[in-house]
C-alpha cells in the first residue's frame, strides 16, 4: 500500500451511530446519527432504545459517509469498529456490521478500544500525536487519565472516576436545575453569565489524605450531592435559585479538579503534552482553564474541535488507519463485543 490507508470506522458504544472515513490522518467523512432525543425524557441513555436506533441508522449512515467521502465500499483498505467498552447491545450492532463489511469486502477488521479512539482522533485535526502524552478523557460514560506511549499498543491507565463520570455529573446537576438532557452544553451556556466563585462547592479527592490513595482518580458524586443540598436549602428558605451562579460554580469545581489532576499527572510522568477528549472536552471553561494552567507550567494542550470530542465514527477510523500504518495485526473474525474492554487492550 503506497497511499495512506483508506479506513471506515464504526462507533456504536452509546447513543451515537457514527461512521467515519479517513485516509491516514485526513478526515473524509464523519456521519453521525444520534438517538439522544429518544432518551431525553428518561434523563439518561436507555440501552435497548439505543441498540434499536443503531440497527435502523446503520446502513443509511454508512451510505451517507461513503457519499460525503466520494468513495465506494470497494475502495476501502480496512474496517475499524469500537469493540468496547460501552453498552453491550449497542456495541453488538456495530461489531456485527463491521464483520459483515469485512467479510463481504475481504478487508481486515480492527476491533478497537473506544478510549484509545478518543485519543487518536486528535490526529485528524492537529497532525501526528505527540507520544508520549497524557490523555484526559471526560465524557458521560468515562473520566480517565491515561499515559499514552503509543496509541496503537501502550495505553496505561493512571486514574479514573471512582463514582460518577464528569459528564454524568453535568447531566445530573442540569436535571436538578431544570435544564434539559444532555445537560453539559446547557450548564456551559448558563454558566457564561454566572459567577464562578458565588458558591464554594467541594473539590472531590483533593485532600491530602485522598491524594495518598487517589492521586489521579476523580469523584464527582459528592459534588453533585453538595449542589442538590444547596438547591434544597435555598428552596426551603424560599429563595430563588440563581441558575447561572450555581452552574458556573459547579462547572468551576469540575474543571478545577480535572485540570489540576491532569497537570499533576503530566508533571509526575515527565510528559509535556496533554490531550483532552470526550464530550466534556467541548466545555468552554475546561478548554480555557486547561490551556491557561498548562501554559503557566510550560506544557502544551491539544483539544480536538467539539464535534470530534463527542462520540463519532471518525475517531474509530483514525485509530484504525494508525493501526494499519504501524503494521499492527487485525482482529479475528470471531471478535466479540466486550462491554468492559480494558483500555490496555487497544485492539481486541
Residues that bind ligand KG4 (CB under 6 A): 14, 139-141, 167, 170-171, 182-185, 188, 278-280, 282-283, 310-311
Using CA atoms, how far apart are residues 151 and 156, in angstroms rounded to an integer? Answer: 10
**What radius of gyration, in Å, describes the C-alpha atoms of the chain?**
20
Closer residue to Zn ion, CB minimum distance, 243 or 315: 315
State yes or no: 86 annotated in a binding site. Answer: no
- Which of ligand KG4, Zn ion, none has residue 122 at its interface (CB below 5 to 8 Å by kind)? none
State yes or no: 127 annotated in a binding site. Answer: no
- Which of ligand KG4, Zn ion, none has residue 217 at its interface (CB below 5 to 8 Å by kind)? none
Closer residue to ligand KG4, CB minimum distance, 78 or 277: 277
Please state the closest distance from residue 286 (CB atom) to ligand KG4, in A. 7
Binding site for Zn ion (CB under 5 A): 139, 311
Closer residue to ligand KG4, CB minimum distance, 94 or 167: 167
State yes or no: 137 annotated in a binding site. Answer: yes
- Which of ligand KG4, Zn ion, none has residue 184 at its interface (CB below 5 to 8 Å by kind)? ligand KG4
Torsion of CA 94, 95, 99, 105, to 10 degrees: 40
- Which of ligand KG4, Zn ion, none has residue 130 at its interface (CB below 5 to 8 Å by kind)? none
Closer residue to ligand KG4, CB minimum distance, 108 or 140: 140
- Which of ligand KG4, Zn ion, none has residue 282 at its interface (CB below 5 to 8 Å by kind)? ligand KG4
Closer residue to ligand KG4, CB minimum distance, 23 or 261: 261
State yes or no: 114 annotated in a binding site. Answer: yes
Closer residue to ligand KG4, CB minimum distance, 76 or 148: 148
Please state the closest distance from residue 104 (CB atom) to Zn ion, in A. 28
| Cβ-proximal residues to 229 (8 Å cutoff; 6+ apart), any chain | none
State yes or no: 118 annotated in a binding site. Answer: yes
- Which of Zn ion, ligand KG4, none has residue 94 at its interface (CB below 5 to 8 Å by kind)? none
Cα 195 vs. chain centroid, distance in angstroms? 28
State yes or no: 183 annotated in a binding site. Answer: no
Please state the closest distance from residue 309 (CB atom) to ligand KG4, in A. 7
Please state the closest distance from residue 48 (CB atom) to ligand KG4, in A. 17
Closest CA to 211 of 276, 159, 168, 286: 159
Location of C-alpha cell 426551603: 236
State yes or no: 311 annotated in a binding site. Answer: yes
State yes or no: 312 annotated in a binding site. Answer: no
State yes or no: 37 annotated in a binding site. Answer: no
State yes or no: 138 annotated in a binding site. Answer: yes
Closer residue to Zn ion, CB minimum distance, 6 or 281: 281
Please state the closest distance from residue 295 (CB atom) to ligand KG4, in A. 21
Closer residue to Zn ion, CB minimum distance, 144 or 219: 144
Using CA atoms, how far apart are residues 142 and 16, in angstroms rounded to an integer? Answer: 15
Name the binding residues for Fe cation: 114, 118, 311
Binding-site residues for substrate, in ranges, read 137-141, 171, 184, 188, 283
Residue list, annotated binding site: 114, 118, 137-141, 171, 184, 188, 283, 311
Amino acid at each position: 500500500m503506497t497511499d495512506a490507508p483508506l479506513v471506515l470506522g464504526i462507533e456504536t458504544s452509546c447513543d451515537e451511530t457514527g461512521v467515519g472515513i479517513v485516509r491516514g490522518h485526513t478526515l473524509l467523512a464523519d456521519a453521525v446519527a444520534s438517538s439522544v432525543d429518544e432518551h431525553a425524557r428518561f434523563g439518561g441513555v436507555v440501552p435497548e432504545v439505543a441498540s434499536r436506533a443503531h440497527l435502523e441508522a446503520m446502513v443509511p449512515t454508512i451510505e451517507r459517509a461513503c457519499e460525503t467521502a466520494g468513495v465506494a465500499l470497494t475502495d476501502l483498505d480496512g474496517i475499524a469498529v469500537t469493540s468496547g467498552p460501552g453498552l453491550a447491545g449497542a456495541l453488538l450492532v456495530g461489531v456485527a456490521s463491521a464483520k459483515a463489511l469485512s467479510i463481504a469486502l475481504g478487508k481486515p477488521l480492527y476491533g478497537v478500544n473506544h478510549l484509545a479512539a478518543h485519543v487518536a482522533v486528535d490526529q485528524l485535526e492537529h497532525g501526528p500525536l505527540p507520544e508520549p502524552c497524557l490523555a484526559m478523557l471526560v465524557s458521560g460514560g468515562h473520566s480517565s487519565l491515561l499515559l499514552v506511549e503509543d496509541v496503537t499498543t501502550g495505553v496505561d491507565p493512571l486514574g479514573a472516576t471512582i463514582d460518577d463520570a464528569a459528564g454524568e455529573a453535568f447531566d445530573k446537576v442540569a436535571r436538578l436545575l431544570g435544564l434539559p438532557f444532555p445537560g453539559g452544553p446547557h450548564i456551559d451556556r448558563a454558566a457564561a453569565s454566572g459567577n464562578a466563585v458565588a458558591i464554594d462547592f467541594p473539590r472531590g479527592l483533593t485532600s491530602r489524605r485522598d491524594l495518598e490513595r487517589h492521586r489521579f482518580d476523580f469523584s464527582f458524586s459528592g459534588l453533585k450531592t453538595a449542589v442538590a443540598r444547596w438547591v434544597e436549602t435555598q428552596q426551603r428558605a424560599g429563595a430563588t435559585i440563581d441558575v447561572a451562579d450555581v452552574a458556573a460554580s459547579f462547572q468551576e469545581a469540575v474543571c478545577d479538579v480535572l485540570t489540576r489532576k491532569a497537570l499533576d499527572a503530566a508533571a509526575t510522568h515527565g510528559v509535556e503534552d496533554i490531550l483532552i477528549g470526550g464530550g466534556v472536552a467541548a466545555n468552554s471553561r475546561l478548554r480555557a482553564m486547561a490551556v491557561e494552567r498548562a501554559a503557566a507550567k510550560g506544557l502544551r494542550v491539544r483539544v480536538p474541535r467539539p464535534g470530534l470530542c463527542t462520540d463519532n465514527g471518525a475517531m474509530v477510523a483514525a485509530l484504525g488507519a494508525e493501526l494499519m500504518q504501524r503494521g499492527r495485526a487485525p482482529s479475528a473474525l470471531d471478535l466479540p463485543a466486550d462491554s468492559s474492554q480494558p483500555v490496555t487492550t487497544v485492539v481486541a
